[in-house]
């Protein structure tokens, strides 16, 4: 499953879109933080307790509150979006595996780690030795077939899906 997620083009594209949204949000948060710093700097120009100082203090409190609310809402929103991405991809993978199993009359498809044992790292070696699948025939591994089907089925945004026209006569 990890191999499919890592190499499925749609998953990569969706994560990149989310990454861009996060970067835009970070830029907005940075601008808000700079505004807070500017207000703090302005406050130094006024005598504590003066009407101007109190006005800036009120502005600062509002800006800080807005910043914190923006940060929390954005973080929650990004976690939800990431969760939806994983759910969508997981459902696509399981649907594809189900189709494959029906076509080739498999009655059971198991998730397993196809990576070889890492003998240099004792922790990873122990984890590998505790795998549920002790042996499998490489011919029974459907990972690449499922991944290939998913990638062929995926149509990135902006690609033409209509029939191609021939220019030769």
Is the pLDDT confidence value at 163 over 50?
no
Mean pLDDT of 69-95: 97
| Mean of pLDDT over the chain | 88
Residue range 130-155, pLDDT digits in tens: 777 777 777 888 999 999 999 999 98
CB 114 within 8 A of CB 142: no
CB 88 within 8 A of CB 78: no
CA distance 153 to 144: 14
CA distance 1 to 72: 32
Is the pLDDT confidence value at 164 over 50?
no
Helix axes 143-153, 9-43, angle to 10 degrees: 70
Is the pLDDT confidence value at 25 over 90?
yes
CA distance 71 to 56: 22
Mean pLDDT of 101-127: 82
Is the pLDDT confidence value at 124 over 50?
yes
CA distance 131 to 110: 12
């Amino acid at each position: 499953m990890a191999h499919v997620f890592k190499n499925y083009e749609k998953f990569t594209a969706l994560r990149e879109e989310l990454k861009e949204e996060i970067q835009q949000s970070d830029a907005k948060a940075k601008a808000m933080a700079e505004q807070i710093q500017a207000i703090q700097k302005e406050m130094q120009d006024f005598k504590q307790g003066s009407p101007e100082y109190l006005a800036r203090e009120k502005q600062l409190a509002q800006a800080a509150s807005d910043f914190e609310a923006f940060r929390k809402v954005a973080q929650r929103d990004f976690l939800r979006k990431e969760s939806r991405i994983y759910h969508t991809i997981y459902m696509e993978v399981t649907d594809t595996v189900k189709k494959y199993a029906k076509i080739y009359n498999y009655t059971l498809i198991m998730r397993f780690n196809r990576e070889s044992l890492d003998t240099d790292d004792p922790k990873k070696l122990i984890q590998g030795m505790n795998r549920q699948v002790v042996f499998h025939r490489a011919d029974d591994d459907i990972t690449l077939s499922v991944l290939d089907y998913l990638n062929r089925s995926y149509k990135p945004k902006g690609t033409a899906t209509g029939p191609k026209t021939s220019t030769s006569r």
